[in-house]
Amino acid sequence: MTKPSKLGPVVLSVFALPFLGMGLFAAYSFLNAANQPLSARIGGAVFASVFAMIGGGLIFGSLYGYSLQKKQAGRESANPDSPWLWRQDWAASRVESKKKSGTIGWWIGAVLANMLLLPVSIGGISKGLPALDPIYIFPAALGLIPLLVLFGAIRATMRVKRFGKVYFEMATLPFSPGRRVTGSIHIHLDTDVRQGVELKLWCTRNVVTGSGKDRSVHKMPLWEEAKNISPTSLARGPLDTTIPVDFTIPADALVTDHDNPDDQIQWSLKLNANIPGVSYSDEFELPVFRNAQSPEAPVPDGQANSSFELPSGSQAAPSWETSTEVPEPARHRVAVTDSPEGLQFYFRAGRNFFRALLCVFLAAVCGALLYAMLHMPQRQPIFALVIVGLLTFCLTLASIHTALTSTCIVVGNGVISWRHSVLGIGRTRRTQIADVASIQAATSIQQASSSGSTLYALRLETNTGKKLTLVDEIESRQEAQWIVSEIEKRAGLRLNTQVRIDGGLYGRPPQPGAASPNDRAFSRKAAVRIER
């Protein structure tokens, strides 16, 4: 239950006052510095104003957050046994889009980034161009960051303006395990969606580890189902277009749980529409709870065939799905052909375009920084050069792997072979099917990022226990499971489409009424085991 505290806003406001006061004082001092040119005074004042805005924003946010906590506490006390009524949009049988708050965040970041870094970049360019001094390359390059953030804000605004107010209207409240998730997504679509709309219902466990600078969030996918909604199934009206939603939640599914902020269970509905010009993606958090009308959860029989049952003694959390044949996704990034050697799966280089672009960009920025440090007149610390050099080296390898590496897997004639090649150069590895114990899709705690962009790999395990990676960086869970099922069928192996989560085991997932949040946090920390 939410308990509003006046101490938090007071402490945060006291902490923010120095930022506000010193920022205003510095801005005033820069503007009145008569011995400085006008451009330098304006640039300094703008730079100092960022700190004043941060201080003012913290004070406003603390007061506004306290008022929201009071309202939230009122809703919770009025409905203590109905957590699906604790959110205002859920109580109205709808789920608001996450894009709206994201757009506001983009613009706040764009304003602050431009005010903070643009004066530094302009100063570096004005001093570096006349002298052609490489020492100013890095401060001048800082101007790219606010421009990229501004581009993101403009792009997010264009999406909101084009697609209107997007929300998911729920047919029932709440959604219960063993029953269907039905409703409709309301969105403005002014063009035809030739490839249909991709919908994905998934359950994730969000675990926070560490504290301070070491704090990290791990988003582990526990269950997932994806569907493609054909263009003919979309209902177009005078105001918007409705997209029908129909999924079935497993009867033994975990329910939504936000009791412990460091260990939560969340159900989400993801939307992806590939539209010419500006493609659209969105996410809606769904209320999945058990109530008096919910079917009873089946009792696990001790076997690993339950959708949401964790086998004891597992060194890595498996998928929370049963091992069944997975249908071919409506869209995938692997080319499958039948050749004389067998069934061939070809993964082209650079198939994850934006990920490859990000790696190349970061490698170029770090390379420019290393070049500037090496050509500076003053001697740079060896430690700093080593760190930047290693970072540049690792990002360069990541760029080569993501942008230039292709993979080909062939299954047939009693052999499984795979080849990783960079610009056609590589080597082929083979193993006899008789020596294969299993092939399984896998992800890791590190790959299950907070952004939800989880990557999957295909792992081959031999009868001797040796594990080999056939291919990695598969973005779609369904695509990874489908490829595994196709390989296993062609190779005559036992069908196993479960997904391993490597990297650690965080104990049993939390569920309301099972234990207090403190007890669950303690048991979770005590149960952490990292595979090495």
| pLDDT tens digits for range 144-184 | 777 888 888 887 777 777 777 888 899 888 898 888 899 99
pLDDT over 50 (residue 526): no
Backbone angles phi, psi at 380, to 5 degrees: -90, 150
**Arithmetic mean of pLDDT, 15-30:** 81
Backbone angles phi, psi at 244, to 5 degrees: -70, 140
The pLDDT assigned to 165 comes to: 82
Q: How confident is the model at residue 137 (pLDDT cuts 50, 70, 90)?
A: low
For residue 138, the tally of other CB atoms under 10 A from its CB is 20
Contact 452, 488 (CB under 8 A): no
Residue 174 has which token pair?
Answer: 């709440």
Write the pLDDT tens digit of every residue in 408-428. Answer: 999 988 889 989 998 888 889
pLDDT over 70 (residue 495): yes
Q: What share of the chain has pLDDT > 70, as a percent?
A: 77
Strands (E), 393-485: 405-412, 415-422, 425-432, 436-444, 456-462, 467-474
The pLDDT assigned to 157 comes to: 78
The overall average pLDDT reported for the chain is 76
pLDDT over 50 (residue 500): yes
CATH code: domain 335-502 is 2.30.29.30
pLDDT over 70 (residue 10): yes
- Highest mean pLDDT out of 29-33, 87-91, 234-238: 87-91
Residue 158's DSSP bridge partners are: none
CATH code: domain 167-286 is 2.60.40.640
How far is it, in rounded angstroms, from Cα 271 to Cα 202? 12
The pLDDT assigned to 530 comes to: 30
The pLDDT assigned to 134 comes to: 61
**Arithmetic mean of pLDDT, 377-391:** 81
Write the pLDDT tens digit of every residue in 219-255. Answer: 777 788 888 888 888 888 777 888 899 998 888 788 8
**Residue ranges per structural domain of the chain:** 7-162, 167-286, 335-502
Distances (CA, A) of 485 to 307, 419, 478, 480, 482: 18, 20, 10, 9, 5
pLDDT over 70 (residue 326): yes
**Arithmetic mean of pLDDT, 26-47:** 76
- What single letter denotes the amino acid at residue 449? S
Distances (CA, A) of 247 to 176, 272, 289, 476: 12, 16, 15, 18
Residue 68's SS3 state is: helix
- 295 vs 13, residue with greater confidence: 13
Q: How confident is the model at residue 509 (pLDDT cuts 50, 70, 90)?
A: low
How far is it, in rounded angstroms, from Cα 119 to Cα 125? 10
Q: How confident is the model at residue 524 (pLDDT cuts 50, 70, 90)?
A: very low
Single out the residue of 49, 46, 51, 43 nearest to residue 16, CA to CA: 51
Write the pLDDT tens digit of every residue in 293-310. Answer: 666 655 544 444 444 434
The pLDDT assigned to 100 comes to: 67
Q: What burial class does residue 410 get, using C-beta atoms within 10 Å of its C-beta: 0-12 exposed, 13-18 middle, 19+ buried?
A: buried
pLDDT over 50 (residue 107): yes
DSSP class per residue in 186-249: EE---S--TT-EEEEEEEEEEEEES-GGG-EEEEEEEEEEEEEE-GGG-EE-SS-EEEEEEEE-
pTM above 0.85, yes or no: no
Query: To which H or E segment does residue 63 belong?
Result: helix 38-78
pLDDT over 80 (residue 327): no
Pairing status of strand 499-502 against strand 436-444: parallel
The pLDDT assigned to 506 comes to: 56
Q: How confident is the model at residue 133 (pLDDT cuts 50, 70, 90)?
A: low
pLDDT over 50 (residue 447): no
**Arithmetic mean of pLDDT, 520-527:** 37
